[in-house]
Structure 1
Amino acid sequence: MRLTICSLALVVTFYTSSIATPVDDNPKPGIGLPAGTLTGVVRDRSGMPAEGLTVRLKGTVRGLTTNQAGQFRFQDLPEGNYTVIVSGVGVLPHEQTLTIRRRETTALDVVINESVAQLTEIKIIAAKGLRERETLPSVTPTAIFAGKKTEVINLSALDANLVTNNTRQIFSKTPGVMVWENDGSGVQVGVSVRGLSPNRSWEFNVRQNGVDISSDPFGYPEAYYNPPMEAVDRIELVRGGASLQYGPQFGGLLNYVLKPAAQNKPFSLETQQTVGSYGLFSTYNRISGTVGRLQYNAYAHYRRADGWRENSGYGIFNGYASLSYAVTNRLRLTAELTRMYNESQQPGGLTDAQFAQDARQSSRARNWFSTPWTVPVLTAEYAISDQTRLTANVHGLIADRNSIGFTSAITTPDIPNAAGQFANRQIDRDLYRNWGSELRLVTGYTLFGRKHNLSTGVKYFDGHTQRQQQGRGDTGRDFNLNLQTDRFPRDLSLSVTNVAFFAENLFRITNRWTVTPGLRVESLTNDINGRFSLNANGTENLVSQQSSRRFVLAGIGTEYKLAEGITLYGNASQAYRPVLFSDLTPAAVTDFVVDPNLRDARGYTLDAGLRGAVGKYLNFDIGYFHLNYNDRIGTLTLLNAANRPYQLRTNVGRSVSQGVEAYVEFDPVVAFAGRSKVGYLSLFASVGYTDARYRSLRTSTVANGQVTEISLGDRRVENAPELISRFGANYTYKTLTVTALLNRVGMAYSDANNTITPSANAQTGVIPAYQVVDLSASFDLKKRYTFRAGVNNLTDARYFTRRAGGYPGPGILPADGRTGYLSVGLRL
């Protein structure tokens, strides 16, 4: 029997043979040169290799995984004593101390025994679906997650459409995730939780490999870039409790962790080629490997399609490269570079009548969008001791947001005039030039006979955005950013400086109970300077304003282990959302005033839940949440001293979201029958109930020289359906997997007034409930060849998730109808 990383509760017995002779009892690793080599093999009791287990050297940055033959190899090890740790999912960690001599090779033979008390033979195999979702460990080398609601989506085990980043499938087992499905290309992911806005995931702190990748996390947190999911190893999601370690926003942390370099061989190749509906073609290619102390990893990805709707073609290139070198056993340096370039044609919005007539139609053939994105990162990891790890990075962002199009209301047709000429298009551009640095330290210490952990760090961020808008573009149809005038009417320099310090400490009160208090100190400065608009005579309306503030966030989390694998957890954390650039710059009006006392939105989140697993047949996570969102920012229409209307941007109200997030997955075959010759089946339900309401929300109107102000208390928050349910079945037979998914989303409102009757321009009105069915299948042959296929939206349902007020609308943005794909891959 071949034992993989998914085997549970194993007892590890080591048999060590060394060709080295005894040396000094207390050598110092890192001093003696030249170096030695450690090789080894990990097997089960029957002698079959154990693949995918982690082998690391305690107190160092050196770590590998076993290959298909169960082998591992460490090169360039300075002479000295080392402690080898073998671990993995469901494996009981075991330590073994040995000696490495210079110019010698030490061989380690590891035999793994199954624990009869904790592991029965019939539960070694289960449906693949049960391996798709995990939680983050209490302590990692960079953070503490004890007491927080965490979810890990293992994309390598996920049976979903990764080619076009189908988000509803990827987050199918993550309860309560709302998805905006107006971009069938998958270029940009828009998700949210707990009644927050899904707009380009801007209520999350979005990261890749732990580094910020959004435009500006403080001034403009929209995530115009996300990696291709074929390149992602796992997605880490930490809800509100992430605010102390990661800062804004209310949604928490969304971290894309890329596939690591192959650690058990010098060269590895992965390639995936895909074709699909409407001209879809995708090619993903990755090489990686480990040579001594050096690891390298690089991929190139290109995807194009004509799009399901008219005027919706796109092309996108993603590239990534990293080099990692263990300078010493304790110090590792890594350099990463991410690059994306894309051009997509935006089909624009529809009126309700147009959507009902034909959701695939488009009346905007001249709208284009592009977001070139470059993210360089330098990282240093230093193992100060066996208990203490220091991580530092310096990261940057060089990126643009470019759009050109006819942006009038959808009720205004984009047609040529009597002379056969189209109107000039509008050009809007953002240029992002950011850099930052983050230093994190995690250490373990002993107090009152128990081991505790401290996580602390400091972050510096300097962001600069050059915002150029309302430019006069050409009258053509293609992507073209050439201005027809000498300057943009609006040209603003927007800057943010942030310095933050955080500390969290995990106290182990008993063997079962932990308490983790923490705090975060924030210092934040915004600067806006430049030209807000041009007058008819060519004179400039200039703006110059600055805002600085300092504040403290606090929180506490706790966990209690009821039994092996079953945990009670709870968390209370303050959170905030900074005043954004958009809050300080109006879209069109000139009679606009920013409240000098405008405050960042502040509030808190509460979590309480029960999560765990029973054997290999049941996973669950059921929790309650409460999100208090104070000082929401909005606009009031008021009268000035001259009795003329003006717009005031100020804090207008508070909303509260509360509800239940529940995930349950069950394998009846393993639970009741044990082994099966016809395969295994997991059934899952992921349900999020959210009651998101405004407790108060000031609105005002001006009529006949009078201001009328009311409060929209008890209205539902826009874009926040009460019920989001996903039900699925995952069938596994050897290396064949088939997954069926039913996605059901309740009705939502598109504005705070809870308007029911759609407006003529389709920007307000109800977003009806909908349901979508997806089918996916995958098959692995000889662990080398991969075949994937799927049908998205099997019933060809017509639905939409968003009414847009501006670009890429305005109007209704339909989701894609039925599409399919076929993919073939190779791993060497």
Structure 2
Amino acid sequence: MKKISLIVMFVLLALNTMAQKNLLKGKITDKNQNPLTFASVILDGTVRGVQSDANGNYELKDFPKGDYQLKISLLGYEDSVLPFSITEAETKVLNLVLTEEPLWLDSFELHSSRGILGHGHLPEVDDYRINAGKKNEVIRIAELNANLAMNNSRQIFAKTPGITIWESDGSGIQLGVASRGLSPNRSWEFNVRMNGYDITPDPMGYPEAYFTPPMEVVEQIEIIRGASSLQFGPQFGGLMNFVLRKPDKSTRFTAETINTFGSNGLFSSFNYIGGTEGKWNYTAYYQKRIGNGWRENGYFNTDHAHMEVNYAASNRLKLGMEMTYMTAESQQPGGLTDAKFGEDSRQSTRNRNWFSTPWFVPSLSAEYLISSNTKLSWKAFGTLAERNSVGFMRPINVEDDLGNRQVDRDYYTTYGSELRLSSSYTFFGKENTLVTGLRYFNGHIDRKQLGVGTTGSNMDFSVAAGDYRRDLDFSNINLAAFAENIFRFSDKFLVTGGIRIENIRSIMEGKLNLVSGSPQLLDRITRTRSFALLGVGSEYHVTKGTEFYANFSQAYRPVLISDLTPPATTDVIDPSLKDSRGYNVDFGYRGTLLSYLQFDLSYFHLNYKDRIGTIAQTNSAGSIYQFRTNLGNSVSKGFEGYIEVDPITALFGSSRIGYLHFFASLAFIDATYGDFEVTSVSNGQITTRNLEGNQVENAPRKINRYGATYNLGKFSMTWQMSDIGKAYSDASNTETPNAAATVGLIPAYQVQDLSASWNLWKQHSLKAGVNNLTNETYFTRRAGGYPGPGIMPADGRTFYMTFALKF
């Protein structure tokens, strides 16, 4: 962190020595001469822009002489555009007074300052993408009362209906979420990105999200359900994009420190700097988080660092660079049997299991304004990372023999590039928007497993005897192109349509196992396929603040590395194995009524075809072998609803005793298998059955969350409750758990959280809370392997307190 700060200060010092070409400055106020903070000040038609500071002042430096239009915008006020001219080395002062909008209504950006915070929707066109007609949500992190130091998913996603959460990682390092009956396994059914670029190992072959940015630096989480498939590709779940806080445009330098203390030795320190100076802006953060975990053997120690620098090379060209690095040391307490869980869910029978994920994500970007209506964006990104585990991995009902542990290591080397063009044009008197893009991705995974590790109990990934018994190489090359267009037929009605063309080439080879000293080699598997995805959506604005929306989009899930890895060399992979295909359908009504009611009510239908599975077959010699192929399909359908109301504002308009608002996030999901044939082998005989009508595993039918927030001045408190229905851990819908606790019912549960915040004065704030207020004993997952096996208990009651200082 010290080195990063020195670099940034050196850059600022160097900039101060450069002569300024010119300077535009001024003050932005309302009609009563009150300063307006964080107003957006932009030189229209350029990449240059700043924000007003706490006193309403702004400065724009070092831009070419010429004629310009200064555009000022702030939520709740009418936009102001002021033409001006400036010569070289001139200092010009322009003060502006903004006028309040009459109704202060915008269905996608409005939120009441008195209460309705933390949740919204994306604008129709934003950041080189089209969102119109799609089911989407925006979670504004800074507005939440939540345990951000621990990335508490239950609180963060409370207002986003239908989100299933695996609460099995007490360290907050990994996020496991899904929607619409899909698997929450490390969020792999979402296309997980940060600032618009990939942060997973390989979205085409191994999309597990081992890295999650600290929530203290996340400005918002953008979620577009399956309708994002045209612009972003996989997966069925859609897009989940973490947008980090951008450099402060209102000052040359700002710094912030957020320190959290909590139960079980939790300590988190988040430190941030950022600012703008002339053509440059920058930001950097460092977070240290350490704790012992709620369960025995749950120690964790993580470090996150990030730096971003942007440079306005000209009025039309902006260049950027980002680097993110994470190290994580995490002890894994393992799973429990049902009996052990009933005795004491905090206990752990594994103290030699460790997990580590060093993660480095660099990114370069460029943005060029071709004209006032057309702009171009380019991003290049990569991932250099590892996934390392060591431990005793036998079933949880087998006692650790204290012998050599198993070591598994993955090495990820990926890089990619995306080019996007956004253009607005007039057709029949209406402004339409076209967004097109090209994508190249190259991913390589070196997977080393079944290594013979040490007999110790610390985090040691060295292999003590011999080589790894499994050593596989997996490569993926992906080329894609897409186009999507908004057609506006009137001020109220629009239609979107688009297409995505994909080409995927996957290669799998290597050593599957080592038997009696002899390697068992896989035949090289090369699969190339090309296909197209289509989609169409629409919006009809009933009022200025509400609209109907509908969407149909095809989706797919590529054949993953796990699909191409047979458990044994006798198993056979179908040479015609296909990517899973299907589609998402959404139909809903959403918006804002006045300033006190916000809602989004919708029906969805997700068709998941060609799901991959394994069945037993008999070869010509009469021997039974396992055959992995496309077996069948599943369908998820149901209701997703979010509603939030501020009754005090509705009834009285204003209140001296504070404001109270309520929200409900409801989802009823029917996720069932269609025609899906499976087999089992007993006494040398193959038995066939069909899963048709069975509930999809890890898909509770009921996902309801409720909450209430009380605001009084600078004080705010939020209570919320999660009410989640039962689920099954396997496709056979096994009710009675097995001895190893890897299959069986996942019971319904209710859990409550309470958090509060208080802005002591302008630059200081205090937050505190209790997670799992009533100390419920529950679990959301039965793990078949790592980090289990067995039941993975969720955390019981924990406390936290956060103190933040900004200067």
Normalised by the length of structure 1, the TM-score is 0.93
Paired residue for 2:673? 694
How big is the shift at 1:589? 2.8
Aligned partners of 1:127 and 1:112: how far apart in 2?
A: 18
Question: Counterparts in 2 of 1:374-385, with a 5 A limit?
Answer: 374-385=360-371
Instruction: Say whether 1:825 aligns with 2:804.
Output: yes
Instruction: Say whether 1:221 aligns with 2:246.
Output: no
Q: Which amino acid aligns with 1:367?
A: N
Check conservation: 1:129, 1:157, Cα contact below 8 A. Answer: no
CA deviation digits over 1:662-697, x for unaligned, max 9? 000000110001111111111000011110000121
Tell me, what secondary structure is at the counterpart of 1:278? Answer: helix
Paired residue for 1:480? 460
Check conservation: 1:127, 1:732, Cα contact below 8 A. Answer: no
How big is the shift at 1:591? 1.8
Q: 1:527 aligns with which of 507, 518, 521?
A: 507
Paired residue for 1:433? 413
Tell me, what secondary structure is at the counterpart of 1:229? Answer: coil
Paired residue for 2:745? 766
Q: 2:330 aligns with which of 341, 344, 369?
A: 344
How big is the shift at 1:393? 1.1
Question: Counterparts in 2 of 1:772-783, with a 5 A limit?
Answer: 772-783=751-762
Q: 1:386 aligns with which of 372, 376, 383?
A: 372
Check conservation: 2:261, 2:802, Cα contact below 8 A. Answer: yes
Q: Which amino acid aligns with 1:469?
A: Q
Question: Counterparts in 2 of 1:405-416, with a 5 A limit?
Answer: 405-415=391-401
Aligned partners of 1:713 and 1:63: how far apart in 2?
A: 57
Structure 2 gaps of 5+ residues are 1-18
When residues 115 and 483 of structure 1 are mapped into structure 2, their CA distance, relative to the original with a 3 A threshold, is closer
Q: Which amino acid aligns with 2:675?
A: S
Check conservation: 2:77, 2:98, Cα contact below 8 A. Answer: no
Q: 1:506 aligns with which of 477, 486, 494?
A: 486
Paired residue for 1:564? 544
How big is the shift at 1:71? 1.6
Q: 2:558 aligns with which of 566, 574, 578?
A: 578
Tell me, what secondary structure is at the counterpart of 2:65? Answer: strand
Q: 2:569 aligns with which of 590, 600, 618?
A: 590
Q: 1:611 aligns with which of 566, 574, 590?
A: 590
Question: Counterparts in 2 of 1:369-768, with a 5 A limit?
Answer: 369-415=355-401, 422-586=402-566, 588-768=567-747
Two-structure CA RMSD over aligned residues (Å): 1.3
Q: 2:149 aligns with which of 152, 158, 163?
A: 163
How big is the shift at 1:563? 0.4
How big is the shift at 1:708? 2.1
Instruction: Say whether 1:812 aligns with 2:791.
Output: yes
Aligned partners of 2:600 and 2:669: how far apart in 1?
A: 16
How big is the shift at 1:303? 0.2
Aligned partners of 1:117 and 1:632: how far apart in 2?
A: 50
Check conservation: 2:20, 2:61, Cα contact below 8 A. Answer: no
Question: Counterparts in 2 of 1:266-281, with a 5 A limit?
Answer: 266-281=252-267
Q: 1:789 aligns with which of 762, 768, 772?
A: 768
Check conservation: 1:128, 1:730, Cα contact below 8 A. Answer: no
How big is the shift at 1:542? 3.4
Check conservation: 2:166, 2:780, Cα contact below 8 A. Answer: yes
Q: Which amino acid aligns with 1:99?
A: S
Aligned partners of 1:768 and 1:89: how far apart in 2?
A: 45
When residues 678 and 125 of structure 1 are mapped into structure 2, their CA distance, relative to the original with a 3 A threshold, is farther
Aligned partners of 2:520 and 2:574: how far apart in 1?
A: 22
Q: 2:307 aligns with which of 321, 326, 336?
A: 321
When residues 621 and 407 of structure 1 are mapped into structure 2, their CA distance, relative to the original with a 3 A threshold, is same
Tell me, what secondary structure is at the counterpart of 1:315? Answer: strand
Check conservation: 1:127, 1:681, Cα contact below 8 A. Answer: no
Check conservation: 1:127, 1:667, Cα contact below 8 A. Answer: no
Question: Counterparts in 2 of 1:273-312, with a 5 A limit?
Answer: 273-312=259-298
How big is the shift at 1:96? 2.1
How big is the shift at 1:467? 0.4
Check conservation: 2:356, 2:387, Cα contact below 8 A. Answer: yes
Q: Which moved more, 1:106-115 or 1:269-278?
A: 106-115
When residues 364 and 153 of structure 1 are mapped into structure 2, their CA distance, relative to the original with a 3 A threshold, is same
Aligned partners of 1:521 and 1:608: how far apart in 2?
A: 25
Question: Counterparts in 2 of 1:354-369, with a 5 A limit?
Answer: 354-369=340-355
How big is the shift at 1:92? 3.2
Aligned partners of 1:790 and 1:583: how far apart in 2?
A: 43
Tell me, what secondary structure is at the counterpart of 1:407? Answer: coil
Aligned partners of 1:326 and 1:350: how far apart in 2?
A: 55
When residues 88 and 118 of structure 1 are mapped into structure 2, their CA distance, relative to the original with a 3 A threshold, is closer
Aligned partners of 2:705 and 2:115: how far apart in 1?
A: 14
Instruction: Say whether 1:185 aligns with 2:164.
Output: no
Check conservation: 1:531, 1:543, Cα contact below 8 A. Answer: no
Check conservation: 1:331, 1:381, Cα contact below 8 A. Answer: yes
Q: Which amino acid aligns with 2:622?
A: N
Paired residue for 1:4? none
Q: Which amino acid aligns with 1:86?
A: I
Q: Which amino acid aligns with 2:28?
A: V
How big is the shift at 1:34? 7.0
Tell me, what secondary structure is at the counterpart of 1:356? Answer: helix
Q: Which moved more, 1:654-663 or 1:478-487?
A: 478-487
Check conservation: 1:34, 1:102, Cα contact below 8 A. Answer: no
Paired residue for 1:43? 29
Q: Which moved more, 1:141-150 or 1:396-405?
A: 141-150
Aligned partners of 1:89 and 1:371: how far apart in 2?
A: 41
Paired residue total: 785
Tell me, what secondary structure is at the counterpart of 1:92? Answer: coil
Check conservation: 2:111, 2:117, Cα contact below 8 A. Answer: no
Aligned partners of 2:517 and 2:129: how far apart in 1?
A: 57
When residues 798 and 128 of structure 1 are mapped into structure 2, their CA distance, relative to the original with a 3 A threshold, is farther
Tell me, what secondary structure is at the counterpart of 1:266? Answer: coil
Q: Which amino acid aligns with 1:380?
A: A
Aligned partners of 2:650 and 2:629: how far apart in 1?
A: 57
Q: Which moved more, 1:82-91 or 1:603-612?
A: 82-91
Aligned partners of 1:80 and 1:660: how far apart in 2?
A: 55
Aligned partners of 2:602 and 2:803: how far apart in 1?
A: 39
Tell me, what secondary structure is at the counterpart of 2:562? Answer: helix
Check conservation: 1:274, 1:282, Cα contact below 8 A. Answer: yes
Structure 1 gaps of 5+ residues are 1-32, 416-421
Check conservation: 2:78, 2:101, Cα contact below 8 A. Answer: no
Identity within the alignment, %: 49
CA deviation digits over 1:718-775, x for unaligned, max 9? 0000011110001111111100001110000110000001111101110000000100
How big is the shift at 1:285? 0.1
Aligned partners of 1:128 and 1:755: how far apart in 2?
A: 48
Q: Which amino acid aligns with 2:659?
A: Y
Tell me, what secondary structure is at the counterpart of 2:79? Answer: strand
Check conservation: 1:368, 1:405, Cα contact below 8 A. Answer: yes
When residues 471 and 71 of structure 1 are mapped into structure 2, their CA distance, relative to the original with a 3 A threshold, is same
